Amino acid sequence: MRTVTRWIGDRFAMIAAILVLFYLFLPVLYTFIFSFNDYRKSNITWNSNAGPTLKHWENPCGAPGICDSLVTSLQVGLLATFVATVLGTMIAFAMVRHRFRGKAASDLLVFVPMATPEIVLGASLLTIFVQGFSQVGLRLGFWTIVIAHIMFCLSFVVVTVRARLQSLDPRMEEAAQDLYAGPGETFWRVTLPLVLPGIVGAAMLAFSLSFDDFIITNFVSGDTSTFPKFVYVSYLRGIPAQANVIGFSLFVIAVLLVVVGQRVASSRTSK
């Protein structure tokens, strides 16, 4: 008994890490396994009367509406990411490189959307869109989703790019100016390449937040369906296996992007 206790004690950290990793990846494992379920009526339980099938992988758009919702999510994510990244980068430059009245308040206000519960933000936006924007013809749908996503992505972009800007060594830009580079040339050849990893990281974060969002989207989407909303609406009759195929594929793409990003960062560090 003492030997067993000592064996567990020596490996407690490793056992805990394995259990935590299993807990973290259990939903991904479920998604992967049930993408092969040859179900008849409901994909909630595994059909033990039939073996695994690849038919859902061969036709991921087989469930009605699933690819339309996926395309909508991608369009919203790309538009919201582009606008939030451009605006957020400009705001970050203004907050780091310039002095203006109300700068301290701006630093605080940037964090407010990040700290606001999504249900509060969604209810507020719904009120604004229904009572205000409907007067100018803007109905709940695709564009109200885009506006809402830009709003909550903006703060994350500002914080990420600002952190990158604050970590830059000002002597790099001073050296460029000492070599007779003008403000524009210094920005394009020195400042922007140094800030670019932060901007790219902020854009990827914004796209991830936009693509994943359900709570705020559910308030402001009207009849428009995004991929998370499609999955939520489908859960009562069993999420279609095609949704598991798409979900697992997105997970693999995200992991590959992270691995490639780390390899690129490691190669730059080693040079």
Amino acid identity for residue 28 in this structure: V
Cα distances (angstroms) measured from residue 227 to each of 13, 74, 76, 129, 217:
38, 9, 11, 22, 11
User: Residue 144 — very low, low, confident or very high, per pLDDT cuts 50/70/90?
Assistant: very high
Q: What does the pLDDT read at residue 116?
A: 86
User: Residue 270 — very low, low, confident or very high, per pLDDT cuts 50/70/90?
Assistant: low
Both tokens of 150, joined, read 């830009």
Q: What does the pLDDT read at residue 1?
A: 67
Q: What does the pLDDT read at residue 12?
A: 86
Residue range 152-166: average pLDDT? 91
72-86 pLDDT, tens digit per residue, is: 999 999 999 999 999
Q: Please enumerate in sequence order all residues whose Cβ is within 8 A of that of 38, keeping only pairs 6 or more positions apart, or say none.
A: 47, 50, 51, 52, 53, 55
Give the 3-state secondary structure of residue 164.
helix
Among residues of the chain, what percentage have pLDDT more than 90?
34
Comparing 52-56, 129-133, 161-165, which segment has the lowest mean pLDDT? 129-133
Comparing 94-103, 122-131, 207-216, which segment has the lowest mean pLDDT? 94-103
User: Residue 114 — very low, low, confident or very high, per pLDDT cuts 50/70/90?
Assistant: confident
The residue with tokens 């937040």 is: 209
Neighbours of 32 (CB within 10 A): 16
Please tell me whether the overall predicted TM-score, pTM, comes out greater than 0.75 for this model: yes
Find the length of the chain: 271
Q: What does the pLDDT read at residue 112?
A: 84
What DSSP letter does each residue of 111-163 carry, written as one string? HHHHHS-HHHHHHHHHHHHHHTGGGGT--SSHHHHHHHHHHHHHHHHHHHHHH
The single-letter DSSP state of residue 45 is S
236 or 223, higher pLDDT: 223
Comparing 24-33, 82-91, 124-133, 244-253, which segment has the lowest mean pLDDT? 124-133
Q: Please state whether 137 falls in left (phi above 0), alpha (psi between -120 and 50) or beta.
A: left
Q: What does the pLDDT read at residue 42?
A: 76
What gap in Å lies between CA 166 and CA 92, rounded to an integer? Answer: 10
Give the 3-state secondary structure of residue 100.
coil
| pLDDT exceeds cutoff 90 at 19 | yes
What gap in Å lies between CA 88 and CA 92, rounded to an integer? Answer: 6
